[in-house]
Structure 1
């Protein structure tokens, strides 16, 4: 009953993660919401929201349903065959699989850990995974240029004055696209800035691609400022 109760709680939290609006309840995030409402620690709230993201159903940006990240673990957890601790340890192990691991090997690792879990200690699951990992990656390391997909992220944080801080790590393709979108505009803007200056008049002018003259007096932005303005335009 305890396992089923925890599974139902995780499923409910997964729904809140997908369609809930924490701000309606005065919270910035789902984690903050349950930490306040359930009077639990930040660590426990983080554990529960992480479980919900990994073992709950997901949707794409277009609203299409997707299975959980670890469907076999999710099924066993929801049916009460796995405890929350067992499910968490298996999830943590599976996220450590090298990025080059084939889907067949990922399925094998997940099914093996789920099958073994009811008959071994939680501690033993890590030892079983270590043997699986040694079989998948006998050299103990993947390609030197491989990056764990879980490391890619973008985080936003609201400051008290209403400003937003953004930071993150992008994969090569995404980063290249974004850099191109930002710096292309920057190069165009800087070339416009210096393309024409009215001699002796005390004004600075630029020429747009269609030949239009633009008064740029006092508007000489730095490269970083141009990139920011382009980024703000893309978001808008």
Structure 2
């Protein structure tokens, strides 16, 4: 262990000297060679890093670093941008343990060898793995191994994009008639991914649909995406499907419809989701909240029709869109006991938080209360933060905080576990903060990620200025609930 630490210390020492090194005294050929050697060394370090990650996984060492899961360790401590892809590479390139304890050879030994030699990089690895995942299950182990060997050899000279193109030809060779692909392969490759919102608050949806899902979606598009149907820019456009629409009304709407087929598909999908949310298909509750759009907004944003509101699911909505939602909702004050009389303090009378308590917690936290956790409120549980229910804790709004499942289960008395305590001063006063049991008492941290707007306003306000108190409201649609934030 000492040798390993000494080696890494030596690498860091060398890097310190390299930071100040200059290539001015070398000719162009040497400068190019230095750049090539640098990248090769970086790729070799990627391979060594995979072994370090596997060691952390085998020994649950992420707990010693204060992380509940290995993925959290990769994200927060190793600062890896795509932790799931990195773990897939580790599982494919490193010798894993079988259920019985013995070590198994790497799934992709040739790719692992090339990465360790520095001849390929992580992007080449992911391109190879993407092709390997598409090999039909019915292909025998010998031909599968040959395909991996061929791809690894190609990777030493081809770009990742060219590897994918070569993979298409390899897959065609392995299954020329398309007869080996079966339901197992289709089930393994099905996916639907919703990307992050961009600067325009738009999101990219990508999917690989199995045949039945594609057929069902085609039926929906045939009816709901027909010209003139579900057009948000046309008040006279028929909604839903066109079975009950007046033929002349539909024809007139179609004549006015200037949308592309892609835009009609989008609007049909939107109408389908609206029907599911507001038609009772999702039931009456999800984690104690109504399965509807719930947003948090200030009265200043309502007056000015400007800004961005945060939904309980973590989605940002322009206030202009919130106003449109509010137009179709029935508004009423809710949640706070001094407004509606709803009980917010149950003591030991019940274990689970009420819907009113959940909505109040959303107004205060917006998401998981654990610092640096990005889980939105709709995917959290109510954590008995003052004292666990098993230890005599109360189901009172003042004693609870939202926490995602993995962090809720991370609270406990063990050294690697966490504790929660209410913050008594500063801008986070009244909220619960988190600290590891081995941390000093003053290291209590609140989650700021879900309240970025508040942080911006705090820094914009001069230190000696008296902040203007602004009432905040939380809104559900439909049933559009407004209540002042804590």
User: Where does residue 18 of structure 1 map in the other structure?
Assistant: 58
Contact 2:62-2:68 within 8 A present in 1 as well:
yes
Residue 104 of structure 1: aligned partner: 142
Partners of 2:109 and 2:186 lie apart in 1 by 20
Supply the distance in 2 between the matched residues of 1:5 and 1:129 (Cα, whole angstroms).
26
The one of 163, 185, 204 equivalent to 1:125 is 163
The 1:38–1:21 alpha-carbon spacing in structure 2 relative to 1, beyond 3 Å, is closer
The equivalent of 1:7 in structure 2 is 47
CA–CA distance in 1 between the matches of 2:161 and 2:105?
Answer: 28
- In 2, distance between residues paired with 1:50 and 1:2? 19
> What's the RMSD between the two structures over aligned residues?
2.5
Whether the aligned pair in 1 keeps the contact of 2:111 and 2:148 (CA below 8 Å) is yes
| TM superposition shift of 1:4 | 0.8
**Residue in 2 that maps onto 1:28:** 68
Residue 72 of structure 2: SS of its match in structure 1? helix
Q: Does 1:91 align with 2:129?
A: yes
Task: Please name the residue that 1:137 is paired with.
Answer: 175
Relative distance call for 1:37 and 1:70 in structure 2 (3 A) is: same
- 1:39 to 2:114 alignment: no
* CA drift at 1:148: 6.2
Q: 1:59 aligns with which of 97, 104, 118?
A: 97
- 2:139 and 2:180 in contact (8 A); partners too: no
TM-score by length of structure 2 reads 0.30
Q: Which residue of 2 aligns with 1:220?
A: none
Distance in 2 separating the partners of 1:15 and 1:150 = 28
2:468 maps to none
Alpha-carbon distance, 1:159 to partner: 5.8
Higher-Rg member (1/2): 2
In structure 2, stretches of 5+ residues that fail to align are 1-40, 190-403, 410-486
Q: Give 1:170's aligned residue.
A: none
Residues 74, 149 of structure 1: alpha-carbon distance in 2 compared, 3 angstrom cutoff:
farther
Secondary structure of the 1:58 match is: coil
Out of 81, 88, 106, which is 2:119 matched to? 81
Matched residue SS, 2:164: helix
1:135, distance to aligned residue in structure 2 (A): 1.1
> For the structure 1 residues 3 and 144, does the alpha-carbon distance in structure 2 shift closer, same or farther, using more than 3 Å as the test?
closer
1:24, distance to aligned residue in structure 2 (A): 2.8
CA distance in structure 1 between the aligned counterparts of 2:184 and 2:44, rounded to whole angstroms: 38
Q: For residues 36-79 of structure 1, give each alpha carbon's deviation from its aligned partner in whole angstroms, at most 9, with x where no partner exists.
A: 113343xx222222211221110112221111121111111112
Quote how far apart the aligned CAs of 1:160 are. Answer: 6.1
User: Number of residues paired by the alignment?
Assistant: 156
1:141-220 pair list within 5 angstroms:
141-142=179-180, 144-147=182-185, 158=405, 162=409
CA apart distance, 1:81: 1.9
* Residues 38/73 of structure 1: CA separation in 2 closer, same or farther (3 Å cut): same
Residue aligning to 2:109: 71
Distance 2:65 2:175 in 1: 47
Deviations, residues 146-165 of structure 1 (Å, cap 9, x unaligned) = 446857xxxxx946665xxx
Summarize the Cα distance change of 1:108–1:52 in structure 2 as closer, same or farther, 3 Å threshold.
same
